[in-house]
Amino acid sequence: KDYWDEIVRRFPLTEYFDTGLVSYEISARKPAAKGFKYLLKKLGAKPEETLFIDDRAGNLVEPAKLGIRTIQFTSLSTLKRTLREQGVLPHQAQRLN
């Protein structure tokens, strides 16, 4: 909890996120399914309409088992392309010459 309090003090997270989950609140850390189930219920979200991004492949296993779409982050350009392919980000308009 002390570590999280320091992060909140240093960074304006509420400007970027409406809600979240901190592992100490539910006594579970990723990649445990407990946290993903908690968030799905809290947000009223369906697994197939949810996307989880992480740089570690091992952290993607449990959410995928729950039906959550997953992406392994390897680079910003690859992430942007994958998000466009999945319809999360709009495709860039083509330039007219």
pLDDT tens, residue by residue, 15-51: 888 887 888 888 888 889 999 999 899 899 999 999 9
Instruction: Return the exposure string of 23-59: e unless at least 16 CB atoms fall within 10 Å of the residue's CB, then b.
Output: eeeeebebbeeebbbebbeeeeeebeebebeeeeeeb
Q: Is the pLDDT of residue 68 over 60?
A: yes
